[in-house]
Amino acid sequence: MSFKLMFHAALAGLALAASVGLGHAQHQGAGAGGPPDWQRTVASTLGKPGTQQDGGVYRVALPRTDLKVTVDGVEIRPGLALGSWLAFHPHGQELMVMGDLVLLQREIAPVMRRLTEGGIEVTALHNHLLRAEPTTMYLHVAGQGDPARLATALRAALQETATPLQGAAASAGDDRIEGLDTATIARALGREGRASGGVYQVNVPRAERITERGMEVPTAMGMPTVINFQAAGGGRAATTGDFVLTANEVVPVQRALVEHGIEVTALHNHMLHEEPRLFFMHFWGVDDAEKLARGLRAALERTNSAQASR
pLDDT in tens, 192-250: 999 999 999 999 999 999 999 999 999 999 999 999 999 999 999 999 999 999 999 99
As to burial, measured by CB atoms within 10 angstroms (0-12 exposed, 13-18 middle, 19+ buried), residue 142 is: buried
Mean pLDDT calculated for residue range 124-146: 98
> Which of the four pLDDT bands, split at 50, 70 and 90, describes residue 176?
low
DSSP 108: H
Contact 140, 270 (CB under 8 A): yes
As to burial, measured by CB atoms within 10 angstroms (0-12 exposed, 13-18 middle, 19+ buried), residue 161 is: buried
Q: Is the pLDDT of residue 55 over 60?
A: yes
Contact 259, 292 (CB under 8 A): no
Q: How far apart are CA 289 and CA 238, in angstroms?
A: 8
Domains present along the chain, CATH in parentheses = 21-169 (no CATH), 172-310 (3.30.70)
* pLDDT of res. 16: 36
CA distances from 80 to 53, 76, 105 (A): 20, 6, 20
Q: How far apart are CA 158 and CA 162, in angstroms?
A: 8
Q: How far apart are CA 220 and CA 88, in angstroms?
A: 9
Contacting residues for 99 by C-beta, under 8 A, at least 6 apart: 84, 85, 86, 87, 140, 141, 142, 154, 222
Q: Is the pLDDT of residue 7 over 90?
A: no
Q: What is the pTM of this model?
A: 0.88
